[in-house]
Amino acid sequence: MLIQNTNDLLTFINDIGTPPYIALDTEFISEKTYFPQLCLIQIAYGEQSAVIDTLSGLDMEPLIKFLKSPDIIKVLHAANQDLIIFWNDYKLALEPVFDTQVAALVCGFGDQVSYGNLVKAFTGKALDKGAQIVDWSRRPLNDGHIKYAEADVSNLLIIYDRLLKEIEKRGRANWISEEMRELSNPARYGFDPDAQLKKLKMRGLSRRRLATLREMICWREEQARSQNMPRGWVLKDLALRDIAAHPPKNLEQLSRIRSIGGSARGRVGQDLLERIKKSLDIPLAECPPVDEKEKIEQVNENAMVLLRALLTNVCKKHHVAPKLVASKTDLEHLILGKSTRITKGWRGELFGSIANQLLEGSIALALTDGDIEIVRTD
C-alpha cells in the first residue's frame, strides 16, 4: 500500500496498533547532497505493510510518534545509514533496534552478510537488482518500484523470525542486546574528524602535518553541511592529502594543488590559508598522535600471528564472524596493553580472556591432525 496523505497514514498507524516489532526500511538518494534525501519509509508487521511517500507533503508527526514507542522493536538491515537519516531529519533516535546484518554476523553467517544473501538463504528468492538503481525521488512511482520497496520489509520479517530462532538456539540474546544498544546511541551519528583522519591513511606525517590535515577535514565538513553537497564536491581527498603534505603559504602555491586551481583566488582560498595558519599555531601536545608509527615499532608480529590464528579458531568453533569479534586494531591494542572492546562484555567472555592467556603464555596453540588446538602450558 502506497501512502501519500496524512489520513491514510493515520489509518495505517491505527490499524497496526502497537506491535511487538516492525520491519523498517528507507529509500533515499545521496549522490548530490551532504544530507541523504529521504524518499520512502517502508513498514511491515504480520500481513500489513505500507510504503510511505515522504516527499508527498504528508504530516510525519504521527509516524514519528509511532516510531518513538519503546515497546516496538524496529527491525532493519545494515541499520547505520537509516538511523542517521532518522536522526538528521527528525532528531529521532530509534530504540530499541534489531539489525539483521549484525545478528547474522553473531550467528556465524560469515564476514560478508548482504541483505540479498539473507533473503536467498531464508526465502529461496533472488532480489530484483534492477530496482537498486532507481531514482527514488522521481514521481510518480510505478507499481513495480512500490512492490520492490514493500518486499524489502516483508522479507525482513521472515529474516528476523529465522534469526531469532538461531539466536535462541545458540544462547546469544545477551550478545545481541549489547550490540543493539550501541546502535541506538546518537553519539555514533555525529561527525568525528579523528575518524575521518584515520580513513585518509596518511602515513609518515608529523603531528603538525596531521593537525593541518584535521583542520582541512573540519573546514570541508563545515562547507559540505552548509551547502548540502557531498564532501568530494567541496574538496577531494587528494587535495586534502596534498595540502597536508606540503602546506601552501600563499594563494599562488594553493592554486597549484590539483582540484583547487582557480578556486583558490576567491573566498575558498582565503579560508583554506587561514585554517592552515590556525593548524600551525596549535600546541604540539594538542596535535593528533602519530599512531601508525607507534604501532609499527611496538606491535610484536609473532603475537599478531598467534592472535589471528586464535581468533579464527574460536570464531569457527562458536560459529560467529571474526570481523564482528575483533578488528586488526583491536588485536594491536590488546598486544600493546591499551583499552579495547575485546576485553569487555560478550567479546571478553568469548575471546578477550583466552587471548590474554595466550599473550601471557599460560596457553599455547598446537597443530593436531591439521587443526589448531588450544593447550595449557601450566
**Within-domain flag for 238:** yes
The answer on 161 and 27 residing in a single domain is yes
What integer best gives the mean pLDDT of the chain? 90
**Within-domain flag for 24:** yes
**Within-domain flag for 36:** yes
Q: CA-to-CA distance for 10 and 25, rounded, in angstroms?
A: 19
Percent of the chain with pLDDT over 70: 96
The answer on 99 and 13 residing in a single domain is yes
- 129: domain CATH number is 3.30.420.10
**Within-domain flag for 234:** yes
∠ CA 140-145-149, nearest 5°, is 120
Collect all residues with Cβ–Cβ distance below 8 Å to 212 and sequence separation of at least 6: 243, 244, 247, 276, 279, 280
Q: CA-to-CA distance for 75 and 161, rounded, in angstroms?
A: 10
Could you report the per-residue pLDDT of 229-242, keeping only the tens digit for each?
A: 999 999 999 999 99
Last residue of a domain, one of 132, 163, 189: 189
Task: Residue 215: give the domain boundaries.
Answer: 198-286
**Within-domain flag for 122:** yes
The answer on 83 and 59 residing in a single domain is yes
Partnered with residue 74 across adjacent β-strands are 22, 97
The answer on 210 and 168 residing in a single domain is no
- For the chain, how many structural domains are there in total? 3
The answer on 326 and 211 residing in a single domain is no
H or E element at residue 170: helix 143-170
Could you report the per-residue pLDDT of 21-53, keeping only the tens digit for each?
A: 999 999 999 888 999 999 999 999 999 999 999
All three cell numbers of 8: 491514510
The answer on 185 and 316 residing in a single domain is no
Partnered with residue 29 across adjacent β-strands are 37
Last residue of a domain, one of 243, 264, 286: 286
Could you report the per-residue pLDDT of 60-77, keeping only the tens digit for each?
A: 999 999 999 999 999 999
**Within-domain flag for 291:** no
**Within-domain flag for 237:** yes
The answer on 226 and 148 residing in a single domain is no
The answer on 97 and 21 residing in a single domain is yes
The answer on 156 and 28 residing in a single domain is yes
Last residue of a domain, one of 133, 161, 189: 189
The answer on 148 and 48 residing in a single domain is yes
The answer on 222 and 172 residing in a single domain is no
**Within-domain flag for 271:** yes
Could you report the per-residue pLDDT of 147-185, keeping only the tens digit for each?
A: 999 999 999 999 999 999 999 999 999 999 999 988 888
- Residue position matching grid coordinates 547474522: 104
The answer on 69 and 151 residing in a single domain is yes
In this prediction, residues 264-292 reach a mean pLDDT of: 87
At residue 293 the predicted structure's pLDDT band, cuts being 50, 70 and 90, is very low
- 307: domain CATH number is 1.10.150.80
